[in-house]
Amino acid sequence: LAVTSKNRGGVQGVKNAIETELAELLERRAVKGMAGAKIRVMVVGIPNVGKSTFINSFAGAARAKAADRPGVTRGKQWVTVGNYDLLDVPGVLWKKFDSMEVAGNLAFIGSIKDDVLDIEALATALLGEMQRMYPERLAERYRLTAEELGQDAYDLLETVGRKRGMLMSGGVVNTERAAITLVDEFRGAKLGRVSLERPEEA
């Protein structure tokens, strides 16, 4: 059984959703005298989306290895929690992306490893999206004026770095450091709760 954690109600809400979905199966098990058999659940999703963290929340303890970067889960691992056997698996991605927008969004949230990306290009692209969709969040977080907010994305990256005091000798902005900070703050929700995708207009 593959389960998503979209439903509200936290861990108990997820357990209720599983049991509701499997009601017929559990009833058949009970008839066969298998009422105590464990429920096996696979937790699957893209890299760095929080699968291991979800399992640890479900278990109420650190049972699965988790970190704020993709690729930490190297292989399958079973975690037993009460009447549940949870299978944690490495994140999965499409073999290729038909849309560069999808690829970019996955990179922004850390589902694609940063070491295969140009961090300044990534931060510049992210700034461009935030300028388009959530300019007020940028302005609030980095104390930007309307004029600064209207800059080219790379110039805006330099402005963010300068405001944070990320200067090298000669007063040159360390744009790599600024890019790393910007991306980390975005992933840490320091720019607020945002959605990179919106429903298509009818």
* Residue 162 belongs to domain with CATH number: 1.10.1580.10
Decide if 122 is inside a domain: yes
Q: Does one domain contain both 104 and 182?
A: yes
pLDDT at 201: 64
Predicted confidence at residue 47, as pLDDT, reads 72
Confidence at residue 4, expressed as pLDDT on a 0 to 100 scale: 46
Question: pLDDT tens digit string along 138-159?
Answer: 999 999 999 999 999 999 999 9
Residues 126 and 160 in one domain: yes
- Residue at 84 is within a domain: yes
**202 lies in a domain?**
no
Flag whether 116 is in a domain.
yes
Instruction: Kindly state whether residues 104 and 175 are assigned to the same domain.
Output: yes
| One domain, residues 70 and 120 | no
Per-residue pLDDT of 100-152, as tens digits, reads 677 777 788 777 777 767 889 889 999 999 999 999 999 999 999 999 999 99
Decide which of 88, 109, 133 is a domain's last residue.
Answer: 88
Instruction: Look up residue 20 and give its amino acid.
Output: T
The residue type at 78: W
pLDDT given for residue 166 in this prediction: 94
3-class secondary-structure state, position 77: strand
123 belongs to a structural domain: yes
Calculated CA dihedral for residues 49, 123, 188, 149, nearest 10 degrees: -130
Q: Which residue type, as a one-letter code, is found at position 16?
A: N
Q: How much is the pLDDT for 24? A: 86
> What is the number of structural domains in the chain?
2
Task: Print the domain residue range for 111.
Answer: 100-187
117 found inside a domain:
yes
Q: Residues in the chain with pLDDT < 50?
A: 1-8, 67-72
Q: Do 84 and 104 fall within a single domain? A: no
Beta partners for residue 41, in sequence order? 86
- How many whole angstroms separate alpha carbon 143 and alpha carbon 66? 33
Q: What is the pLDDT of residue 5?
A: 42
pLDDT given for residue 130 in this prediction: 93
